[in-house]
Structure 1
Amino acid sequence: MKSGIFAVVNIGRLRLYVGEPCRIKERWSPILAQLEGGQCRHAALQMEWNKYEGNRKVTFHTASDLKKETTLIRYKQLLKDLQTT
């Protein structure tokens, strides 16, 4: 069942789209491993991660809220996810 609620990880000044709460572990775990290993493909995100020593906050939003945030990291994934809901 689709919840219509989506998770965003806030790291410093950047916001990273993760997906529906039921998929957080599946999607966040590989990203977290890359960040902790210093190998994130998104250089600005890696720099924020290093600067804030891994501190992050997860927030939850509706699709209509997130569609307006075109600066979200992984915004294209949000659009794909919305097509399948």
Structure 2
Amino acid sequence: MSSGIYAIAHIGNLKLFVGEASKLSQKWPPMLAQLNSGKFPHAMLQQVWTTEGGKRHFSFHTKAEIIGDLDILGIEELLAETAT
């Protein structure tokens, strides 16, 4: 994964947690470690991650994957925000 926008999707619950990071491929392993250890800075995502039992209930996506899926609710707002 390259730098930029990423999303963590909560499977079956229509929740999409979107963030931005430089050098995403280097940040991804520490982010997963934080989630697994209960220390992720986004409290809502951490709570859902912990309650749902971790990675098996989530999928992970890059900006390129997100932009290509016009069925994502709110994709227009996400694209508008990333353009600025």
* TM-score band w.r.t. shorter chain: 0.5 to 0.7
What is the letter of the counterpart of residue 67 of structure 2? T
Q: Matches of 2:60 and 2:41 in 1, distance apart? A: 20
Runs of 5+ unmatched residues, structure 1: 70-77
CA contact (8 A) 1:6 1:62 kept: no
1:67: Cα distance to partner? 5.7
The equivalent of 1:42 in structure 2 is 42
Matched, 1:11 2:20: no
Please give the per-residue CA displacement for 1:21-60, whole angstroms capped at 9, x wherever unaligned.
xx54322212111111111111111110012111311232
Matched, 1:61 2:55: no
Count of equivalent residues = 69
CA contact (8 A) 1:18 1:24 kept: no
Query: Which one scores higher on RCO, CA 8 angstroms, separation ≥ 6?
Result: 1
CA contact (8 A) 1:18 1:27 kept: no
> Aligned Cα RMSD in Å?
3.7
Specify the SS of the correspondent of 2:60: strand
Specify the SS of the correspondent of 2:66: strand
Runs of 5+ unmatched residues, structure 2: 69-73
Q: Percent identity?
A: 19
What is the letter of the counterpart of residue 45 of structure 1? L
